[in-house]
Structure 1
Amino acid sequence: MTVYFIGAGPGDPELITVKGQRLIRSCPVIIYAGSLVPAAVLEGHRAEQVVNSAELHLEQIVELIKTAHANGQDVARVHSGDPSLYGAIGEQIRYLRELDIPFEIIPGVTATAACAALLGAELTLPDVSQSVILTRYADKTAMPAGEELGSLAQHGATMAIHLGVNHLEKILAELLPHYGADCPIAVIHRATWPDQDWVVGTLEDIAQKVQAKGFRRTALILVGRVLGSDHFSESSLYRAGHAHLYRP
């Protein structure tokens, strides 16, 4: 018996790995995050038990897994995006280790990757930014020391900010001194879902654009010079005259 933490991707049911889809269709027990995982992701399943974890607390989820373990049933524990990012799987894994229940993590497409694809953007450009910071706004859960947005913004790297659209004005105030008012920024609502929508602007004007759209939740903020720059060097990888293992 194994518990499979499966990344279902950002919303589009086709953005799931072949392995993840195969496990969903074969596991006798499915526990899925129904608030963020569309029902279409579960199509084709033959599970004996399907439970929406959005209606449960942690201990109830663990009890379901314990029962499945006692019955020798594999569990597809389905999370949105990639389960290793804001998936709250760490607390579940801690219980599983204490109970000596085997588990495996199946990666998924992140919301950040989906938003970059929607915008037609590369998040790492030579001379512009070679780092991507994935972070969140400090709301219900405080950020560890040194991970405040203002501290991270000092790097000037491409940044993906989760769970912050309702606090956009405060976020902009922390970013402005480091990125500048003309820095490109995008706010993407429910990327890859049928009702996906987005706005692109600068740190100076994005707040009004987001207000006009009415985005209130399930939105990702992407900020960085990579979003608006055509001025960058070509990569060494494909540069004529640059030799490497496959192109002597």
Structure 2
Amino acid sequence: MVHIVGAGPGDPELITVKGANYLKEADVVIYAGSLVNPKLLEYCREDAQIHNSASMTLDEVVATIEQAEKEGKMTVRLHTGDPSVYGAIQEQMDAFRKKNIEFDIVPGVSSCFATAAALQQEYTLPGISQTVIITRNEGRTPVPDKEKLRSLAQHQSTMCIYLSITMLDKVVEELMAGGYPADTPIAIVQRASWPEQKIVRGTLETIVKDIEGKDIDRTAMIVVSHCLGADYDLSRLYAPEFSHMFRKAVKE
């Protein structure tokens, strides 16, 4: 059995209990070395075979797992964050199916949620935004026309933009062309949950200058939202006059 495990955003304590238990039991671990915190490997047995997939091709990853399966070994394929978001796991799972290799998936904490925690911010505030868009700017990986930032910006919702910090000037240009006002709040969080976590706040108009000299690299998350520092309506969930199946409304 192969276990595809979400490692979480960086803090080794933010892996799930199930994921950590699989790491403790694994005979073979293949981890995304360019992004996964190496401290997570401390969960592994001393005799576990550890492979850094940063220098491996898809065929090499699959061949390593296929050999482990033939030897009756349990493998953990350790991906950063939650593997369902920009994790490139679909092609791996399809390859496993072709070779009749059984697998399951253990979800993880995505960096967009670790970013919200770092910002101490809720992404969905009443009267401000009730939608979160997870996306990226177009780079070497193409983006469908209907999903380009300029199109998505028309919704004016909270947007978490991955893999795009090196194109921040272009990101800002596309967001403003799509309808976000120049004074829309934006936050950049680098390595959310890591000891070296870094936060820069600004507006679409100022953010490119705001990050100058801050050593922000490709691992940073971009969050654009009117929720950042906004006044908002209180949730009806806890309002005394709002009834639901667990509480009767109290009339004033």
Residue 195 of structure 1: aligned partner: 196
Unaligned runs of 5+ in 1: none
Retained in 2: the 8 A contact 1:158–1:222?
Answer: yes
Shift of 1:212: 2.7
Residue 50 of structure 2: aligned partner: 50
- 1:29 is matched by which residue type in structure 2? V
- 1:15 is matched by which residue type in structure 2? L
Retained in 1: the 8 A contact 2:4–2:104?
Answer: yes
Distance 2:229 2:86 in 1: 28
The two structures, once aligned, show a CA RMSD in angstroms of 1.0
- 3-state SS, counterpart of residue 172 of structure 2: helix
Which of 15-24 and 35-44 deviates more? 35-44
Deviating beyond 4 angstroms after TM superposition, the runs of 4 or more aligned structure 1 residues are none
Residue 4 of structure 1: aligned partner: 3
- 3-state SS, counterpart of residue 226 of structure 1: coil
Residue 87 of structure 2: aligned partner: 87
- 3-state SS, counterpart of residue 213 of structure 2: helix
The number of equivalent residue pairs is 246
Shift of 1:137: 1.4
Seen in structure 2, the aligned counterparts of structure 1 residues 71 and 19 have a Cα distance that, compared at 3 Å, is same
TM-score, normalised via structure 2 length:
0.95
Q: 1:111-140: per-residue Cα shift (whole Å, max 9, x none)?
A: 000111101100000110000000011101
Distance 1:108 1:77 in 2: 13
- 3-state SS, counterpart of residue 3 of structure 2: strand
Distance 1:168 1:50 in 2: 35
Residue 121 of structure 1 pairs with residue 135 of structure 2 = no
Distance 2:84 2:96 in 1: 16
Unaligned runs of 5+ in 2: none
Which of 153-162 and 172-181 deviates more? 172-181
Shift of 1:189: 1.0
Retained in 1: the 8 A contact 2:20–2:43?
Answer: no
Retained in 1: the 8 A contact 2:191–2:220?
Answer: yes
Shift of 1:150: 0.3
Retained in 1: the 8 A contact 2:165–2:220?
Answer: yes
- 3-state SS, counterpart of residue 213 of structure 1: coil
Percent identity at matched positions? 47
